[in-house]
């Protein structure tokens, strides 16, 4: 082999090696580009999904606790009929209704207040809510316009009905409110707590 042939073979080998290096570089570049592209696709796919999950979680109410919250039931009182009208010198009965809620009520105490110039509460008596009620307090002060009353029983009761009946008498022309004050309601299961919530007043007009 002469020098010219060696030179030609050398050049040929150099060109082949150069092509190989070029091809390898291109392949490496394509692989790198493909890897980056795959990462971008995976990121773009997972990001909206995560965002939607966050939005979904934000829109949902929190899961309720396995431990129920303690809620206290309350007892309410209301007069019937309301309002009430009567004439001077006339007497009329008004019932005081009780709704115990879920409470097992053993008794209650309250003070009724009114204008003694217009009205007199002649008497108060149990109205049938309790089977065997015991009147613990029955005190009227007409001069002050107050009537203190308390009733109890050994057989606790839940439900609603007529607790007491008021007999009222019109004294002079005018109007007044009979309001329920200083009310205490005893529950069989919560003797140390007052389970009373609210008591409605009744308007009385003497004609």
- Would the pLDDT of 56 be above 90? no
Domain containing residue 34: 1-69
Coil, helix or strand at residue 2: coil
**What is the count of structural domains for the chain?**
2
Residues pairing with 109 in the sheet: 150, 184
Can you tell me the mean pLDDT for 130-159?
96
- Would the pLDDT of 99 be above 80? yes
- Judging by beta carbons within 10 Å of its beta carbon (0-12, 13-18, 19+), is residue 129 exposed, middle or buried? buried
The tokens describing 97, both together, are 């209704």
Same domain, 59 and 130: no
Q: Which of 107-116, 150-159, 183-192 has the lowest mean pLDDT?
A: 183-192
Domain boundary (69, 89, 122) is at 69
Same domain, 94 and 41: no
Question: Mean pLDDT for the chain?
Answer: 80
| Predicted pLDDT at 161 | 96
DSSP per-residue codes, 9-72:
HHHHHHHHHHHHHHHHHHHHHHHHHHHHHHHHHHHHHHHHHHHHHHHHHHHSPPPPPSSPPP--
Can you tell me the mean pLDDT for 52-56?
51
Q: What percent of the chain has pLDDT over 90?
A: 59
The pTM score is 0.65
| Predicted pLDDT at 189 | 87
Same domain, 51 and 80: no
Same domain, 114 and 183: yes
Distance CA 207, CA 204 (A): 10
Tens of pLDDT along 125-141?
999 999 999 999 999 99
Can you tell me the mean pLDDT for 149-177?
96
Judging by DSSP bridges, how do beta strands 134-141 and 146-157 pair with one another? antiparallel
Higher pLDDT, 173 or 43: 173
- Would the pLDDT of 46 be above 80? no
Same domain, 63 and 137: no
Assign 201 a pLDDT band (cuts: 50, 70, 90): very high
Helix or strand (DSSP H, E) at 3: helix 3-59
Coil, helix or strand at residue 146: strand
Q: What percent of the chain has pLDDT over 70?
A: 65
């Amino acid at each position: 082999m002469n020098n010219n042939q060696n030179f030609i073979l050398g050049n040929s080998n150099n060109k082949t090696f150069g092509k190989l290096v070029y091809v390898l570089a291109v392949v490496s570049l394509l692989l790198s580009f493909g890897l980056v592209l795959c990462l971008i696709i995976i990121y773009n796919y997972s990001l909206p999904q995560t965002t939607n999950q966050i939005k979904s979680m934000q829109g949902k109410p929190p899961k309720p606790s396995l431990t129920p919250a303690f809620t206290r039931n309350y007892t309410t009182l209301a007069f019937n009929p309301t309002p009430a009208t009567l004439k001077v010198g006339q007497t009329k009965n008004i019932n005081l209704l009780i709704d115990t809620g879920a409470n097992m009520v053993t008794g209650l105490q309250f003070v009724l207040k009114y204008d003694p110039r217009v009205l007199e509460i002649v008497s108060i008596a149990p109205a049938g809510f309790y089977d065997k009620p015991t009147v613990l307090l029955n005190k009227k002060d007409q001069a002050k316009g107050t009537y203190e009353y308390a009733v109890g029983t050994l057989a606790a009761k839940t439900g609603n009905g007529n607790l007491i009946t008021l007999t009222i008498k019109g004294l002079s022309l005018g109007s007044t409110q009979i309001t329920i004050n200083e009310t205490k309601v005893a529950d069989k299961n919560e003797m140390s707590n007052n389970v009373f919530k609210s008591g409605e007043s009744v308007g009385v007009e003497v004609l």
